[in-house]
Each structure stands twice: as structure tokens, then as C-alpha cells.
Chain A
Amino acid sequence: MPVASTKTGLAARRWPVLAEAFAGEGRAWLFVFKTLLALYLAAWLAMWLRLEQPATAMITVGIVMHPHTGMVQAKGFYRAIGTLCGSTFGLVLLCVFPQQRVLFLLCLSLWVALCAGGATLYRNFMAYGFVLAGYTAAIVSLPAVGNPLGVFDSALMRVSEVMLGIVVAGVVSDLVFPDRLRLVLRQSAREHFAHFIDFVRGSTGGGIPREEMEQAHLRFVRAAVQLENLRASVIFEDPEVRARSTRMRLLNQHNMAAATSFQSLHHLINRLQREGRHAEVAALIALYHPIGAALTTAPEDLHDPAVLTPRLRDCAQRLPALEAELRAGLAPGRPQLAFETGATVLRRFLDELCGYAELELALRAHVQRGGVERVHFQRGNDASGAAVAVLRTFLTMTALSAFWIASGWTFGASAMLLATIFSGLFAATPNPLASAFTMLLGYVFGMLGGIVTAFWLLPGSDGFVMLIAATLPLLIIGPWLNAHPEFGSLGGGYAIGIVYILALKNPMVYDPALALNEAIAQLAGVALAAVSFVFVPRVTGSGWQRRRQFRRLREQVVQAASAPLDGLSWRFESVSRDLFHQAIVHTRPGSRQSRELLAWALAVHESGRALIELRQQLYASPVQTDVRAAVDRAIAAVAQLYRHPDPARRQQAEDRVREAIGACAAVPALRPRLYQLLGALRDDESPLATWMSAEEPAHAT
């Protein structure tokens, strides 16, 4: 667009202040335009289809439109499911308790509360599905409370309106200047691949300082979780990504596994270095060197999987010969065992790295061929936050119901409805107390705007064009506020408030008394939903929940020691990363808590992975019963240590692992894994180090 750019260039030169003020406004206005288009389109279609309340479709558009427009499509799927579930529940509820208001309201409160809990538990766009399930149940059943016989028709109308709103919002955000999230996904996946390859290549020298390792771990975990989040959204937006979805999951898993193996290897090298065992360190670095060489290519191919994959495969074929040669150069006994341990981890790492590069290569092809193993990125959801959200919403809704029943308030249903919507919306926001009151303020402004529009601007207008002309000036404020993150949730409240009070209908009904009564009731509903956060505060991000997540992170090692082996390593890698990621975002970088968490995360990864490998090897190799018993005792002792860490248990775990190493003298396949476990327990930079006895017993191997 040469013309436009020259124009803006001229404007920038003439009015630098203006150019500064409007920097980034383009995207905001695009969002405003799209939202208004969707709003009016929904209103027009609802009127054309003769639906009862076009306002419901408009409010749904207001709830589901989002500045990150690529996400709208992704959420549509879950929203539709949420709407269907919610409307069915509302219908069933009213059919079961047409005359029992107490039971009816109690059940409705419980349903809405469970939906708010679900919105808290699933932190991604699935949250919207839950919000809408609660909202639709209320919107279907509450207006029909006075007239149970008409509930079916009313439910049909509400569902049609909500669905219309969802479809219009989805189609508009997908068609009109779409914001392709797919490009972001591809960009970040390639960046992550490049970072990882660079990091592996850059550390051929051997030891990496613990500090650097922690930072790299943090970066990789963040990338892994973000890629999974993006993937889960983009599959709804783009069929090409959907066709690649299974492969992308496997790619992420291979990457996580390779990162863990890589860390284990470097922990081992670092430990040997600190113990002054230079011969083993030199041998391991020599063994590692070919990988670095395989990754060092011409500058333009540095991150090209098509070049890297054959080189890595070739390297993997040459590795055993080099390994035998280097092993022969070491003294038998402890040095060879240490080398064997490192070589086992290195082989595993190279295998995972090859898999990673191959998958990346397959993903970059235009045509996807064949199927791959199905893996899942398991989440470490914490139910405590959701339980608190359920309790809070239930209290809000029952308090409102009790007040409604006791006072015989004509507009109680409106208050309940608004409390439902906002409980769900608040449950999903990061800082609910502040945003709840901002939203309340926005709601008040929105209602004032609605009253002004409905009783001063709208009367006398004729036809749909005039309706747009009359409502546009005040309606436009909502999406504009929404597009500016600095206003927080002000825009959300405003947009819903103005549409609700406006209550566009065809033909329009003007009733100031009704509008004011509605306004008071709705305000009471929103306010109560906001106030409930004072009484039952949110736990997500609190110290209490962080401690819980921390404990669960440690218990991943217990899982690794005791859970069924099938698919365990995938599960372990993803859950431990997800838990770590959830906990770390609520700590300050560099603070004591953050460092402690990082240190434990690295220890958990190393020990957990070593345990899984050990168990797999134990399962595969034929060993005598007493050997198996010794290894099982060692595994149980390590699990005990991570369940309740203390000095005595650490010492016991170490003793058991040593005994197992002694017992496994005849089983060479198990010894490297046990030795790695022992190293992880004795690592003097891990959090377990504080309890370690200084001297090393003589029967070390």
C-alpha cells in the first residue's frame, strides 16, 4: 500500500504528536470495526429471522468477541458445546421442578457454580465453553420461571439467539481481516527448534553452569507449554494445522524428552568435573563432540532439519565404535561405570534428538504422509482453585436466590442472570477483585449509555440504517475500550451493559420504568458477583496454591516410581512441565522462591526420568528375584524421599540405591541407570545437597 504509507508518512512529519497518539490504533480500530459489524449483523439477522430478543444474540457477540481474533474460531467449538449442554440442562431443570422454586434455584446455583469452576480449571479457551454452559442454562430457564408451560418455546428462542451470536462472531472474525494465529505458531515452533539446536551445539565444551542450565530450562519449558497452548487453539482455525496436530504433539514430546536427557547428561558431567574425575569427563566430552560437529553446518543450513537429520543419523551410527574405543581407555570399575552411565544417557539423547529433527522435517513438508504415535500433553490441573470458584459462585447464587424468594422481587431473574454471566467471566480473569470492580464501573457507564441511546437518540429513527446511526456513537466505546488492554475489563462491562439496557427489539418497546427497574436489578447481580471475591478470594497464584503445586511437582517422582509404565514417560514430561510453568509464572524472577522452584524442578526431572528408564529396563531384562527386590526397594526409597523430603530419607534412599548397584553386579544394563539415580541423589548443587553427609563411603561401586 504505497499510497497509504506515504500519507501516514506525511502526517507523521506534520503532526508528530498525532502519529504518536495513533501508533497501534490501527489494530484497535480493526477490532472495533469487526465487533460492530458482528453486533449489527447479529441484530439484523435476529430481526430478519423474527427471533424474540435480538439483544441476546448481540450480548453473546459482546461476550465472545476478543481482540485476539484468531482465537475466536477456536473457542467457537467449545462454545457451541457449552451452549447445547447449558440449554439442555436449563430445560430439564425447569421440567423437573416447575413448582419447586427452592429446589430449582438450588440446582441452578449448583450448575452455574460448577460451570464457573470448570472455567477456572481449564485455563485455555475451554473456559469459554463453561462460561456459556452456565449462562445458557440461566438464560433458558430464568425468564420462563413465571410461565413454565412456555419453557420449550422460550428455550428454543434463546438457544437460536445464542447460537446465532456465536456463529456470526466466528464467521466475522474469521473472514474479515483475520489475524492468523497459525503464523505465530509456525514462527514460534521454528524459533524454538533453532534455540534448542543452538543450545545443544553451543555446549559441546562440556560443563554448563547450573545458573545457565536453570535459565535454559525455564526457556524451554515456557516454549513447550506455549507451543501446546497455541497448537490447541490453532487446530480449530486451520485444517492444515489440524492435519499436523498429532505430529506436533509428538514433536513437543520429543523435544521435552531430549531436553531432559540433555540436562541429565550435563548434570552428570558437571558432577564428575566437581569431583575432579577428569579422565571420565574428557571421555564423555569426546563422546559428545561428534554431535556438536554434526550440528555445525554451513551458516545458511544451521537450522534446516533437512540437512541436520541425515548428519545426526550418521553420527548415531558411528557412536558405538567411538564409545567402545573411549571405554577401553578408562580404568575398569568406577570410571567405566560413570562413563557407561553418561554414554547411556547420551545414546538416549541422540535418539530423541534425531526423532525431533525428523519430525520437524516432516512438519515442514507440504503434504503429510503416514500416521505417527498418538501422544497427549497432560495438564497438571489443580482442583483447589476450581473448588474455591465453585464455592464462591454457589454462595453468590444462593444468596441472590434467597433474597429473591424472601422479597418477592419482580426483577430477581435479571439479577440472577447477570450474576451468572459475570461469575463465569470473573472466574477466568487473572486478577478478579480489581477487574470485577472495573467491570462494575464499566457496566454502570454502559447502562447510562444505553438509557441515553434508548430514550433520547433512538425514538423517531426509522429503519435499520437509522438504528445503526442512533446506536453507533455510544456503542462504539465498548469495543474500543476492549481493544486497549490498559483499560482492563472496563470495556467488557460497558459492552454488555449498553446492549442489555438497550434491549433492541423489532418493533422496539420504550418503557423507562421497566428499563430503570432492570438496570437496578442487573447492577445488583453484577455487584454481588464482584463482592463475592472479597469473601471468598481467588486462590490461583496465591502462596497456598503455589505450595500445593510445588508438592505435586515433587510427587511426579512418586508417580514415576509407581504409576503403570504405559505412556508414563510422556505423561511425566508434560505434567511436570505444566505444573512447573503454572507455579513459576506467579513468582518474581530471581526471587528465592523462584530459584528454589527451579532447583527442585531440575532435580525432579533428572530423578523422575532416571526412575522411569530404570523401571523400563527392569521390566525388559530377565533378572533374579533378589536383584529385582533390591531395585524395587531402591525405587520405593527414592519415591519416599520425594514424597516427604528430609535428611534421613535421603540417606536411606542413597543407601538403598547403593545396595541395588551392588546387587546388580551381574546385570550391566541396570547399573548405569542406578548410578545416574545415585548421582542425582548426591548432586551437591541440587536442593537435596543441604542434607548430604560430606564423606563418600568406600563401597561406592
Chain B
Amino acid sequence: MPREIAIYGVLVPGLLPLFLGCLLLMLLVDALIGRYGLHRYVWHPPLFRLALFACLFGLAGLLLLN
């Protein structure tokens, strides 16, 4: 994946679409978590979600852009 994407001549960092994609993925994960009540097994749900997002985003960035 290119590091920078040109949208109508404007250079956008390749991380931006990855970020948005990860947000969408998080919505999906959240829906699953909510439906099956998995947050009961987690100490601090918001922290868990943020950490999960950081993992997803970091993984996607390292795998696709590196």
C-alpha cells in the first residue's frame, strides 16, 4: 500500500484510510462484544477497547505500510 494517496491532487497519508478502516472494524467488534456480553470478562472496558484499537491500528499500519 502506498505511503501517500493522492485524492484530486491532495496528498493524504496512507494511514488515514487505515485509521478509518480500523474504526469500522472496531464498530463490528463492539457489536459482537455487546451482543454476547463479553465485557463482563474485562476489568476496564474503555481501556480494553482503546488498547484493542491501538493493536488493530498498529498491526494494520505495520503490515500494510511497512
Chain A interface bracket (under 10, 10 to 19, 20 to 34, 35 or more): 10 to 19
Known: A366-B40, A367-B37. A243 touches B46 (CB 8 A): no
Main secondary structure of the interface of A (DSSP, over half): helix
Interface segment among A170-178, A277-285, A489-497: the answer is A170-178
Cβ contact within 8 Å between A368 and B46: no
CB of B34 within 8 A of chain A?
yes
CB of A210 within 8 A of chain B?
no
Q: For chain A residues 335-375, which have a beta carbon within 8 Å of chain B?
A: 366-368
Q: For chain B residues 14-45, which have a beta carbon within 8 Å of chain A?
A: 30-31, 33-37, 39-40, 44-45
In whole Å, how far is A233's beta carbon from the nearest beta carbon of chain B? 15
Cβ contact within 8 Å between B46 and A244: no
Mark contacts of A306-343 with chain B using CB atoms, 8 A cut-off: 1 yes-contact digit, 0 otherwise. Answer: 00000000000000000000000000000000000000
* Cβ–Cβ < 8 Å partners of A178 in chain B: 46
In whole Å, how far is B15's beta carbon from the nearest beta carbon of chain A? 13
Cβ contact within 8 Å between B33 and A174: no
Cβ contact within 8 Å between A239 and B50: no
Kindly identify which residue among A152, A175, A239, A244 contacts B33, using a CB–CB cutoff of 8 Å: A239
CB of A241 within 8 A of chain B?
yes
Give A152 to B10 CA distance when docked, in angstroms.
10
In whole Å, how far is A45's beta carbon from the nearest beta carbon of chain B? 15
CB of A242 within 8 A of chain B?
yes
Kindly identify which residue among A152, A174, A366, A367 contacts B46, using a CB–CB cutoff of 8 Å: A174
Chain B interface bracket (under 10, 10 to 19, 20 to 34, 35 or more): 10 to 19
Give A366 to B50 CA distance when docked, in angstroms.
23
CB of B62 within 8 A of chain A?
no
* Cβ–Cβ < 8 Å partners of A171 in chain B: 50
* Cβ–Cβ < 8 Å partners of A242 in chain B: 30-31, 34
Q: For chain A residues 213-249, which have a beta carbon within 8 Å of chain B?
A: 238-244
* Cβ–Cβ < 8 Å partners of B46 in chain A: 174-175, 178
CB of B7 within 8 A of chain A?
no
Q: For chain A residues 156-196, which have a beta carbon within 8 Å of chain B?
A: 171, 174-175, 178
In whole Å, how far is B31's beta carbon from the nearest beta carbon of chain A? 6
Cβ contact within 8 Å between A241 and B50: no
Q: For chain A residues 237-272, which have a beta carbon within 8 Å of chain B?
A: 238-244
Cβ contact within 8 Å between A368 and B47: no
Residue in B40, B45, B46, B50 with the greatest tally of chain A CB atoms within 10 Å: B46
**CB nearest to A173 among chain B residues:** B46
In whole Å, how far is B63's beta carbon from the nearest beta carbon of chain A? 24
* Cβ–Cβ < 8 Å partners of B40 in chain A: 366
Give A171 to B44 CA distance when docked, in angstroms.
13
* Cβ–Cβ < 8 Å partners of A243 in chain B: 31, 34-35
* Cβ–Cβ < 8 Å partners of A241 in chain B: 34
* Cβ–Cβ < 8 Å partners of A240 in chain B: 33-34, 37, 39
* Cβ–Cβ < 8 Å partners of A368 in chain B: 34-35, 37
Q: Which 9 A-B pairs have the closest CB atoms?
A: A243-B34, A239-B34, A239-B30, A366-B37, A174-B46, A240-B34, A243-B35, A239-B33, A368-B35
A-B contact pairs, 26 of them (CB 8 A): A152-B10, A175-B47, A175-B50, A238-B45, A239-B31, A239-B33, A239-B34, A239-B39, A239-B49, A240-B33, A240-B39, A241-B34, A242-B30, A242-B31, A242-B34, A243-B31, A243-B34, A243-B35, A244-B34, A366-B40, A367-B35, A367-B36, A367-B37, A368-B34, A368-B35, A368-B37
Given contacts A240-B33, A366-B36, 6 further A-B pairs with CB under 8 A are: A171-B50, A239-B39, A242-B34, A243-B34, A366-B37, A367-B37
